[in-house]
Amino acid sequence: MNILGIDTSCDDTSAAVVVDGHRVLSSVVNSQVRLHHPYGGVVPELASREHLRNIVPVVNEALSRAGMDLKDLNGIAVTIGPGLVGSLLVGLYYAKALAYTHQIPTVGMNHLEGHILSIFLEDDPPPAFPFVALTVSGGHTSLYRVDGFGNYSLMGQTLDDAAGEAFDKVAKLLGLGYPGGIAVEELARSGSKEGVPFPRAFMGPASLDFSFSGLKTSVALYVRRWRESKEEMAGVKMADIAASFQEAVVDVLVHKTLDAVKRTGVGAVVIAGGVACNKALREKMRCEAAAKGVTLYYPRPAYCTDNGAMIALAGYHRLIHGKGADLSMDVRSRFPIEELASFDG
Ligand code: KG4
Ligand code: ZN
């Protein structure tokens, strides 16, 4: 079954062709990083206009790299939420037009389901169900128990900022530009993670929820004092601030994820989403999981960040279970995964 996946939920225009929910024939991502760079973050209006310019060439490129025509497709999977409304609209309405004119079955997808299942795009053997998935990106930080395709239970989520958002804000504070995650990680490599004792929000032993706004404020206050009185804080480099901040985020993500693993008794953890590219997170999670006899899985960076392939893969499982949608579907800026029509696959 040849599925075209389309994702325009934020600032990447992406399309991919995936066969039978696994074999990626093409995955094209047009990044808008340079467009948003001067503003230090995504400007929604600019993002939707750029999607309009890019959606047709990106989809055509995905089809051509896959050596396919629209008539070869058995389905279209398109992200309808969560995300920026203007951006989502472009992908959805283009998908609807293709589906209508070429009579192709179509399904509206939850972006987070794509991230959770992105590990199944890899060639290595995938984790067995059930597993715990941490989706950690610019818009989300959530822990799920995953019992099968289409079968997810939310265990915890951020009550304020997403971890990627905190990375982006700290990068901005330190003058590292946008997007911030990679820049903070690179700077942190030459710093000491014990340099500054930033707070960790564990919020009581029973909570699997996250909070990063206090940490963000703490870094902002520290940076202000550090800039004003360099002598007083002599010896602390900007790299130490980056490394200490990163360590505070990683500590909380690893602790809560392994707590979720302990509560569920599963043998595997998956991390996905843009922040899952972070090597400090991967390393600490891998070591601490291994110490508990648990295996860590993460997709390659191109499948961690937003891409159409993960949407095609997740859409395949919905379409084979008869969960396609009619063309009256619309975008949903907020779309909790618990509201997905579930099935056991
Ligand atoms: O999954 P993604 O491409 O888009 C969303 O769904 O949000 O994630 C983008 C986020 C950004 O906040 C970016 O700064 C962060 O992922 N990110 C990283 C790294 N690479 C990307 N954060 C920390 N370390 C990285 N290496
Ligand atoms: Zn994402």
Q: What is the mean pLDDT of residues 303-320?
A: 98
User: What is the reported pTM?
Assistant: 0.96
192 pLDDT more than 80: yes
Distance, in Å, from the CA atom of 296 to the CA atom of 279, rounded to the nearest integer, reads 13
pLDDT digits (tens, 9 = 90+) for 328-337: 999 999 999 9
Ligand 1 centre and the CA of 193: distance in Å?
Answer: 20
Distance, in Å, from the CA atom of 332 to the CA atom of 319, rounded to the nearest integer, reads 20
Return the ligand number nearest the Cα of 305.
1
Domains in the chain: ranges and CATH: 2-116+303-339 (3.30.420.40), 125-298 (3.30.420.40)
Spatial strand order of the sheet with 141-148 comes to 151-157, 141-148, 131-136, 268-272, 295-297
Average model confidence (pLDDT) for the chain?
95
More confident of the two residues 284 and 343: 284
pLDDT digits (tens, 9 = 90+) for 12-31: 999 999 999 999 999 999 99
Q: What is the mean pLDDT of residues 139-162?
A: 96
Ligand 1 atom with the smallest distance to the CA of 164 is 12
Ligand 1 atom with the smallest distance to the CA of 279 is 26
DSSP-assigned letters across all residues of 176-221:
--SSHHHHHHHHHTTS-TTSS-------STT---B--HHHHHHHHH
More confident of the two residues 97 and 177: 97
pLDDT digits (tens, 9 = 90+) for 63-103: 999 999 999 999 999 999 999 999 999 999 999 999 999 99
Beta-bridge mates of residue 157: 142
Return the ligand number nearest the Cα of 246.
1
231 pLDDT more than 80: no
> Band of the pLDDT at 41, cuts 50, 70, 90?
confident
Distance, in Å, from the CA atom of 71 to the CA atom of 73, rounded to the nearest integer, reads 6
Say yes or no: CB of residue 273 within 6 Å of ligand 1.
yes
Say yes or no: CB of residue 10 within 6 Å of ligand 1.
yes
Kindly report the backbone phi and psi dihedral angles of residue 306, in degrees, each rounded to the nearest multiple of 5, phi listed first: -60, 135
Ligand 1 centre and the CA of 185: distance in Å?
Answer: 11
> Band of the pLDDT at 342, cuts 50, 70, 90?
confident
Reported residue count of the chain is 345
